[in-house]
Structure 1
Amino acid sequence: MILAKKIRIVPTKEQEIQLWKSAGTARFTYNWALAKQQENYKQGGKFIPHTVLRKIFTKLKQVPEYAWLYDVSNNVAKQAMKDLCSAYANFFKGLADKPRFKSRRRSKPSFYNDTDKLKVKEKLVLIEKVGWVKTVEQLPIGVKYTNPRVSFDGKYWYIAVGFEQILPNQTATDVSLGIDVGIKELAVCSSGKRIKNINKKKKVKQVEKRLRMLQRQVSRKYEMNKEGNRFVKTSNIIKIEKRIRHLHRKLTNIRTNHLHQATNDIVKTKPYRIVMETLNSKGMMKNKHLSKAINEQKLYEFKKQIQYKCEKYGIEFIEADKWYPSSKMCSTCGKIKKDLKLSNRVYRCICGHEIDRDLNAAINLSRYQLA
């Protein structure tokens, strides 16, 4: 199995400047390739392979105006074009949304490092055109690396690498575990285990309150420093925006850590299979009253973590059919209650069975059989 390891790196000031140059080159190349593909498509041309784009890009680098592209490794731009072409091809196949231009302000700074040129020593890693950079943890030595990526999360720089690892066989129980996800609680398992919604915790509410206050503060400062139709970004605005980025990072880390702890607790019970409902994330996000809560729950990330951890521990993962009536079916007699509303939190059947709605759905999912 290919496992990934992401660790923090500690560059010097000179190395950090070079890291920013590499991340900026990757973003520029991605946007340049996307503009070429869109222009070609409007003119009725066919999809441009990344090999053809690379030849055009090599000529572009020879123009004096773009001489700065030679300051970073050639592999950074080459992989950025491959990523764009892959995203564009997936869009036409219906597998992904249309690629969008990467904003300097909003996009996550990241770039690719060639696997052959990635070297690792004790708490040191060699990054192309950057040099030996200190790491907080030790990367595995003596393994074949795949898809190394360097990224910045708003506060620290990280390097992530994939490597193959043979995992021992796990002894599983005879339990089939159903998981029903929601907004009130992150997940309810058929075993009766409930995973709470981290967004209702005091520590998250305090960070969100602080974030709202800083956002209002920076908005007022923009209005105060407005010159005609132009907003002037002062030193105080830059400081506040940096604090806002750090709070967004903190919220993301709290939620992601909660998901990792929750999914670890689930797979360590060692069921022989886990059944989840098929999530229609796009459809759920169309509900303007629930979209914020759904987005904060990170349900798709929860499913992704369950999937790869099932593979890691040798557990069968099944997604129930989209139209499987897990919530409307009685877990005792099997009758379907068609008039069940979202506001009905207790399932009451005509057979006399009363049970929590989410637990009822989880039990039905645990009994799901593939057609």
Structure 2
Amino acid sequence: MIKAIKVRLYPTKRQEELMFKSAGTSRFAYNWGLAFLNKYYEENNKFLQIDELRKEFTRLRNNSEFSWLKEVSSEIPQQALKDLGESFKKFFKKESFYPKFKKKGKCEVSFFHLNNKFIVEDNYIKLEKIGYVRMKDEGRLPIGNYKKDKIKVLNPRVKFNEKYWYLSLGVEVEEKTDIKLTNESVGVDLGIKDLAIVSNIDEPFKNINKSKEVKRLNKKLRKLQRQVSRKYDMLKSGKTFQKDEKLVKTQNIIKIERQVKLVYKKLSDIRLNHIHQITNTIVKTKPCRVVVEDLNVRSLLKNKHLSKAISEQCFNKFITILEYKCKWSKIEFVKADRFYPSSKMCSCCGTIKKDLKLKDRTYVCPNEECNLLIDRDKNASINLANYKSNHKCGFLN
């Protein structure tokens, strides 16, 4: 079983410069590769293999004009090209959009590090061409020379979140074999009013975006965005500015934009922490099966009235985190059919109410013999719990 580990790094000023340079080289390689592939396709009407693209980049790296590429590890740009190849694979499988160029200041600041070139000693880790960097580990990382001691870690990445540097990687750990599960199926209904309604938990899990702290941060974010927008307008309205001229940011704009990024980071951390707390609570009930809706989030975001509220709920992230936690605990994870009428079906008699509207928050069964009166979302979670599929539980007929 793979366990994800995130370790905070404390680089010196010189080391931090090298880290930013490594991240910049990774971004340059990705953008260069994407531009090269686009041009190659226009000229030859076919796609160039990533292995051939990596050979082309090696020739570029040996060019004296690009000697600065040798200041960082050679694996960093090569892995960036591999990541580009993975992006194209997802595009061809229609799992994502066509790859886009990474813009400085807009994309994630990160770079790859070869897994067999780590040396961990006490609270220090050696990174290639950067040196020994102090870290806060608390004994989670294996100590030793990863190449000599044959210690395996997966997909190590060094990342910067606008405030701190982190090392994230996966470590193989032994699977738990003593987990005892109940003979219970749990349905999880996701929504906007409340983030999650679980069939075996009475109280719904609240929407964290309605909390005082998130509202305060959103208010602060709007204020900062207005400030930076006004400064850009002042810059464009200046007498010396020409229309075709590139804008040169002032120090005040750079300062406010960094504050905006930090507020975004704080909001992201609050939402992620809330999702982890909810998924932990669900998994700790130890059901034999967890059923969630297969939401088409991309289509839901087309609703201009609800798109912001839906994006802030992070449905896809919630489902992904819940899925891997179920896998850890040997719990069967099921995605219900996208057209399964969990909201319209009565959880008592199975009658479908075709005229159910979004504003109807209480479900009233149209069957006069049943006449069930229940919260709409709770009814949906119970229906998801009773969703019929291939399973190991014995509660369904």
TM-score (norm 2): 0.91
1:76 corresponds to: 76
Residues 86-114 of structure 1 deviation map (CA, whole Å, 9 limit, x = unaligned): 21122112232211111112000111000
Q: Distance in 2 between matches of 1:306 and 1:81?
A: 31
1:362 maps to 2:381 = yes
The 5 Å alignment of 1:259-270 reads 259-270=275-286
Report how far residue 140 of structure 1 moved.
1.8
Q: Distance in 2 between matches of 1:166 and 1:63?
A: 47
2:161 corresponds to: 153
2:148 corresponds to: none
Q: Distance in 2 between matches of 1:95 and 1:202?
A: 36
The 5 Å alignment of 1:1-371 reads 1-138=1-138, 139-141=140-142, 143-169=151-177, 170-191=179-200, 192-226=202-236, 227=238, 228=241, 229=243, 231-350=247-366, 351-370=370-389
Report how far residue 64 of structure 1 moved.
2.8
Q: Distance in 1 between matches of 2:92 and 2:228?
A: 41
Report how far residue 71 of structure 1 moved.
0.5
Q: How many residues align?
A: 371
Residues 237-285 of structure 1 deviation map (CA, whole Å, 9 limit, x = unaligned): 2211111111111011111111111111110111111000101011111
- Letter of the 1:151 counterpart: K
Deviates more, 1:354-363 or 1:161-170: 161-170
- Letter of the 1:189 counterpart: V
Residues 280-335 of structure 1 deviation map (CA, whole Å, 9 limit, x = unaligned): 01111111111100110001000001000000111110001111110000011110
Report how far residue 68 of structure 1 moved.
0.6
Q: Distance in 2 between matches of 1:164 and 1:309?
A: 15
2:394 corresponds to: none
Q: Distance in 2 between matches of 1:188 and 1:135?
A: 39
Q: Distance in 2 between matches of 1:81 and 1:116?
A: 20
- Letter of the 1:359 counterpart: K
- Letter of the 2:82 counterpart: K
Is the contact made by 1:222 and 1:232 (CA closer than 8 Å) also made in structure 2? no
Is the contact made by 1:29 and 1:81 (CA closer than 8 Å) also made in structure 2? yes
- Letter of the 1:172 counterpart: L
- Letter of the 1:305 counterpart: I
Is the contact made by 1:121 and 1:141 (CA closer than 8 Å) also made in structure 2? no
- Percent identity reads 49
- Letter of the 1:32 counterpart: W
